[in-house]
């Protein structure tokens, strides 16, 4: 499916006079100027949604461009079109496009970054976005356990920090049924504390951490437990709390931590 979408995008760009050349791209208008993938994305991706195509085909073509160019800007154009005068885009095609790329055995940084900053950090869209890319079928993930589904789950969990705790906690708890997802759940909770828009409930998050099977030397585990035990919800709303936790973790033994006044408040 993705390969077909990529080939369709390549043909569409060729129709616009844009083609691969050497280590970049060139246009018929300026064949002597080598363009980067980012420049191609900024110059042509928005035109996809001006094509005389069914909206679902426009979405598929845009995701094909994303496969071809691997540039975050294309996801911006997708969201602009979704929020524009002709929007919203067909939800089935929109979210299926995200799910397919989250499941693919290839780099998904542009997709996960888009979820994080464009959909999850906006509380008007985060609940819907999270449900579409994981929440609705987390039970299927833990039952089927296919590599593709697990890959999607890991990627979504790890960038889910800004999603409201009440929205994501059920999926976190379901994901905990699979030890292979425990590290991703941990990173999700860690991001929930550190992201400027992160959201968590300290007591519930601490309880969840206590049920994760993680190596005892997991980086930042001790510090995260400390700030949660002290009732802190977010790095930016509790200035200095994380630095205190780092100091206390470095203090070493329980006696030394007590001497350093490192008991949670």
Per-residue DSSP letter, 29: S
Amino acid 262: pLDDT: 59
Q: Is the confidence at residue 171, as pLDDT, over 80? A: yes
Q: pLDDT (tens digit, 9 = 90+) per residue, 40-85?
A: 999 999 999 999 999 999 999 999 999 999 999 999 999 999 999 9
Packing angle, helices 55-69 and 72-83, rounded to 10:
160
pTM for the model stands at 0.92
Q: What is the DSSP string of 184-225?
A: HHHHHHHHHHHSTT----HHHHHHHHHT----TT-TTHHHHH
* Interval 203-215: pLDDT, tens: 999 999 999 999 9
Whether 265 shows a pLDDT value over 50: the answer reads: no
Radius of gyration of the chain from its Cα atoms, rounded to whole angstroms = 22
- CA atoms within a 13 Å half-sphere pointing along the CA-CB vector of 71: 19
> How does 48-69 read in b/e, with b if 16+ C-beta sit within 10 Å?
bbeeeeebeebbbbbbbbbbbb
Per-residue model confidence as pLDDT tens digits over 222-262: 999 999 999 999 999 999 999 999 998 887 644 344 434 45
């Amino acid at each position: 499916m993705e390969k077909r979408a990529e080939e369709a995008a390549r043909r569409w760009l060729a129709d616009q006079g844009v083609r691969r050349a050497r280590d970049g791209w060139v246009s018929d208008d300026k064949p002597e100027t080598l363009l980067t993938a980012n420049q191609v994305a900024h110059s042509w991706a928005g035109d996809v949604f001006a094509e005389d195509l069914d909206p679902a085909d426009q979405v598929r073509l845009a995701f094909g461009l994303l496969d071809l160019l691997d540039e975050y800007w294309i996801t911006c154009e997708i969201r602009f079109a979704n929020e524009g005068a002709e929007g919203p885009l067909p939800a089935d095609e929109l979210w299926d496009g995200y799910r397919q790329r989250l499941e693919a055995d290839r780099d998904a940084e542009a997709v996960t970054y888009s979820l994080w900053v464009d959909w999850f950090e906006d509380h008007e869209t985060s609940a819907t976005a999270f449900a579409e890319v994981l929440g609705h079928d987390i039970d299927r993930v833990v039952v089927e356990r296919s590599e593709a589904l697990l890959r999607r789950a890991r990627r979504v969990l790890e960038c889910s920090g800004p999603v409201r705790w009440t929205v994501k906690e059920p999926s976190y708890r379901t994901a905990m049924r699979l030890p292979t997802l425990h590290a991703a759940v941990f990173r999700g909770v860690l991001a929930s504390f550190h992201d400027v828009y992160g959201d968590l409930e300290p007591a519930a998050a601490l309880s969840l951490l206590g049920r994760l099977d993680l190596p005892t030397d997991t980086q930042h585990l001790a510090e995260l437990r400390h700030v949660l035990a002290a009732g802190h919800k977010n790095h930016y709303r509790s200035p200095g709390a994380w630095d205190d936790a780092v100091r206390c973790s470095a203090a070493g033994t329980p006696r030394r931590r007590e001497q350093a006044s490192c008991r949670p408040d």
